[in-house]
């Protein structure tokens, strides 16, 4: 399951890179929205998968972790709506904001979950021996 989470984290980073290039090239707002669409969909799916794992393993910090996911999704939806209505010119500042959110979540909140899952796996290996 850690591999699945790692894979999905990499996919989120990859889409952000594509979005970054799209913004740097000065592509149309429609194209930027399309990539942001992909990012929002993938983030939503990934959060659901991660939450299922947390529930299955009775992760103690699940409530706060889920709250953080909900906050991130809410911000993403707001940004997406503003951009689709042409209210926000999506530039480097927003790109940096997205990167900061993702980085803070992956390196903080998700890292703690990974360590928890790692300990559980290490424990189950010992029992097998
Ligand atoms: Fe997470
Ligand atoms: Fe995650």
Mean pLDDT score of the chain: 90
How far apart CA 81 and CA 87 sit, in angstroms, is 8
Q: 106 C-alpha vs ligand 2 centroid, how far in Å?
A: 6
How far apart CA 29 and CA 36 sit, in angstroms, is 10
Mean pLDDT of 76-100: 85
Ligand nearest to the CA of 5: 2
Q: 69 C-alpha vs ligand 1 centroid, how far in Å?
A: 6
How far apart CA 81 and CA 67 sit, in angstroms, is 21
Instruction: Spell out the residues 6+ positions from residue 39 whose beta carbon is closer than 8 angstroms to its own.
Output: 12, 15, 16, 19, 76, 98
Q: What is the pLDDT of residues 9-21, one digit of tens each?
A: 999 999 999 999 9
How far apart CA 59 and CA 118 sit, in angstroms, is 12
Q: Are 50 and 5 in contact (CB under 8 A)?
A: yes
How far apart CA 76 and CA 12 sit, in angstroms, is 13
Instruction: Spell out the residues 6+ positions from residue 2 whose beta carbon is closer than 8 angstroms to its own.
Output: 114, 117, 118, 121
Q: Residue 3 has what pLDDT?
A: 86
Mean pLDDT of 92-114: 92
Beta carbons within 10 angstroms of residue 103's beta carbon: 12
Q: 51 C-alpha vs ligand 1 centroid, how far in Å?
A: 8
Closest listed residue to residue 68, CA positions, set 105, 114, 107, 39? 105
Beta carbons within 10 angstroms of residue 105's beta carbon: 20
Q: 119 C-alpha vs ligand 2 centroid, how far in Å?
A: 18
Q: Residue 64 has what pLDDT?
A: 97
Domains and CATH numbers, the chain: 2-116 (1.20.120.50)
Q: Residue 70 has what pLDDT?
A: 97
Q: What is the pLDDT of residues 26-41, one digit of tens each?
A: 888 888 889 999 999 9
Q: Residue 129 has what pLDDT?
A: 42
Q: Residue 126 has what pLDDT?
A: 53
Mean pLDDT of 82-106: 86
């Amino acid at each position: 399951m850690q591999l699945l989470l790692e894979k999905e984290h990499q996919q989120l980073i990859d889409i952000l890179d594509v979005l970054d290039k799209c913004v740097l090239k000065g592509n149309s707002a429609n194209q930027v929205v399309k990539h942001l669409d992909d990012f929002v969909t993938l983030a939503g799916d990934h959060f659901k998968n991660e939450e299922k794992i947390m529930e299955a393993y009775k992760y103690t910090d699940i409530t706060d972790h889920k709250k953080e996911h909900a906050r991130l999704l809410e911000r993403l939806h707001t940004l997406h709506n503003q951009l689709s209505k042409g209210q926000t010119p999506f530039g480097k500042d927003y790109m940096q904001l997205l990167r900061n959110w993702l980085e803070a979540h992956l390196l903080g909140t998700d890292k703690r979950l990974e360590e928890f899952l790692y300990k559980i796996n290490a424990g189950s290996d010992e029992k097998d021996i």
